[in-house]
């Protein structure tokens, strides 16, 4: 067997594992009539909801013959998870990846990216003009690097790329519908590009127009990696195209999100990332107004990338964090 055939079979195995993530009931928060479910997106092979968008965007560029094996460089502005997904997937498919990333993203995330083989360009106010907060600077820098060299660089641009939306319309939405046997009444997700929200929300509303879609943004000046505040930084084009899908908005605070990370570890034995804490906080606030319903939230990534943040914020002591790493359920082996 040649190394090429080995890589081919390996590639199929890993890429086949994108999607079909488990959904679990959070029983300590559910009641007889109010059922709360979390869709555990960290079961994707590269650890987050963004595997879906990354895979769909790469497949689309391959179909359009934009990407050339062993020649093209994929460059993308991202707060981490899209970068991890793109780099992981691209490493199986023969493309190099450069990631433009805000420097405040956790060191663990940056280390994973480096380990997977990405070249990182970190943005700071010194490095490039401030056209907006956080990831907006990254977008400007990624354009500046890629635009003059279109024969080498390909920027999927998750903030505009329709394949990001389609990945959720074609996978996350149908999965939730089937996993709840069509009983879902409310869908909650944090918003970065809006791909998860609009893709999943559109599919679920097509199945049942009464499903409510709740979009979660972060507070200003936040620590909730993956989310945005839409006053602080512009709403992406991808989101603007279908933002009417959103029935209600919720703004997650750092404090409430972190409290929920802690509460989920204690009550449900799951170690989640900050944005899952935001989703949980918004679900619990909404549920106060309902006597019944099936509430489904996207838990975008787990807590294994956030040790430094969680210790810094005094969420857990080092000992507690280590204990949760071994005692928590639903932490599959990592692919990196
Ligand atoms: C942890 C986390 N939560 C939520 C999201 C939001 O996903 P989307 O870009 O589909 O809005 C992201 C996106 O990067 C993320 O990394």
Q: What is the pLDDT of residue 8?
A: 61
Q: What is the spatial distance between Cα 276 and Cα 260, in angstroms, rounded to a whole number?
A: 8
pLDDT band at 11 (very low <50, low <70, confident <90, very high): low
- How would you class 247 by CB atoms within 10 Å of its CB: exposed for 0-12, middle for 13-18, buried for 19 or more? middle
Q: What is the pLDDT of residue 85?
A: 97
First to last CA, the chain: 25
Q: What is the pLDDT of residues 39-85, one digit of tens each?
A: 999 999 999 999 999 999 999 999 999 999 889 999 998 878 999 99
- How would you class 190 by CB atoms within 10 Å of its CB: exposed for 0-12, middle for 13-18, buried for 19 or more? buried
Q: Residue 127: pLDDT above 80?
A: no
- Encoding tokens for residue 310? 């969680």
* Closest residue by Cα to residue 323 from 298, 297, 303: 303
Which residues contact ligand 1 via a Cβ below 6 A? 48-50, 79, 81-82, 190-197, 225-227, 273, 275, 300-301
Q: Do 174 and 203 meet the contact criterion of CB atoms below 8 Å apart?
A: yes
pLDDT band at 219 (very low <50, low <70, confident <90, very high): very high
DSSP sequence for 261-322: HHHHHHHH---B-HHHHHHHHHHHHHHTT-SSEEEEEEE-BBGGG-HHHHHHTTSS-HHHHH
Which residue puts its alpha carbon closest to atom 7 of ligand 1? 192
According to DSSP, the residues that pair with 122 across neighbouring strands are 101
Q: Which is the closest atom of ligand 1 to the Cα of 164?
A: 10
Please choose from 160, 167, 196 the residue to mutate so as to test ligand 1's pocket, defined by most ligand atoms within 8 A of CB.
196
Q: Do 198 and 42 meet the contact criterion of CB atoms below 8 Å apart?
A: no
Please choose from 190, 217, 306 the residue to mutate so as to test ligand 1's pocket, defined by most ligand atoms within 8 A of CB.
190
Q: What is the spatial distance between Cα 136 and Cα 251, in angstroms, rounded to a whole number?
A: 20
Q: Mean pLDDT over residues 145-157, rounded?
A: 95
Q: What is the spatial distance between Cα 71 and Cα 57, in angstroms, rounded to a whole number?
A: 18
* pTM of the predicted model over 0.85: yes
Q: What is the pLDDT of residue 195?
A: 98
* Closest residue by Cα to residue 46 from 122, 127, 113: 113
* Closest residue by Cα to residue 165 from 142, 193, 124: 193
């Amino acid at each position: 067997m040649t190394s090429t055939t080995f890589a081919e079979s390996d590639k199929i195995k890993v890429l086949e594992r994108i999607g079909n993530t488990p959904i679990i009931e959070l029983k300590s928060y559910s009641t007889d009539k109010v059922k709360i479910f979390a869709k555990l997106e960290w079961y994707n092979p590269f650890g987050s909801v963004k595997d879906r968008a990354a895979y769909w965007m790469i497949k689309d560029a391959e179909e359009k013959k934009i990407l050339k094996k062993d020649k093209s460089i994929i460059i993308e502005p991202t707060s981490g998870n899209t970068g991890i997904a793109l780099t992981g997937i691209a490493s199986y498919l023969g493309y190099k990846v450069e990631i433009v990333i805000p420097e405040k993203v956790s060191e663990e995330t940056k280390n994973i990216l480096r380990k997977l083989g990405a070249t990182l360009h970190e943005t700071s106010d010194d490095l490039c003009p401030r056209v907006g907060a956080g990831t907006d600077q990254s977008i400007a820098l990624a354009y500046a690097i890629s635009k003059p060299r279109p024969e080498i660089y390909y920027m999927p641009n998750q903030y505009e790329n329709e394949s990001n939306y389609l990945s959720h319309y074609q996978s996350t939405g149908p999965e939730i519908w089937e996993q709840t046997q069509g009983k879902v009444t409310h869908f909650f997700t944090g918003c970065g590009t809006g791909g998860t929200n609009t893709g999943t929300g559109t599919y679920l509303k097509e199945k049942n127009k009464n499903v409510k879609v709740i979009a979660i943004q972060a507070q200003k000046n936040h620590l909730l990696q993956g989310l945005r505040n839409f006053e602080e930084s512009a709403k992406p084009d991808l989101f603007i195209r279908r933002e009417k899908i959103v029935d209600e908005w919720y703004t997650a605070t750092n404090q409430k999100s972190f409290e929920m990370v802690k509460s989920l570890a204690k009550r449900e034995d799951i170690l989640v990332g900050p944005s899952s804490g935001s989703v949980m906080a918004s679900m619990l606030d909404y549920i106060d107004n309902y006597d019944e319903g099936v509430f489904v939230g996207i838990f975008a990534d787990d807590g294994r990338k956030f040790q430094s943040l969680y210790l810094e914020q005094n969420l857990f002591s080092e000992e507690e964090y280590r204990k949760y790493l071994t005692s928590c359920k639903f932490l599959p082996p990592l692919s990196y």
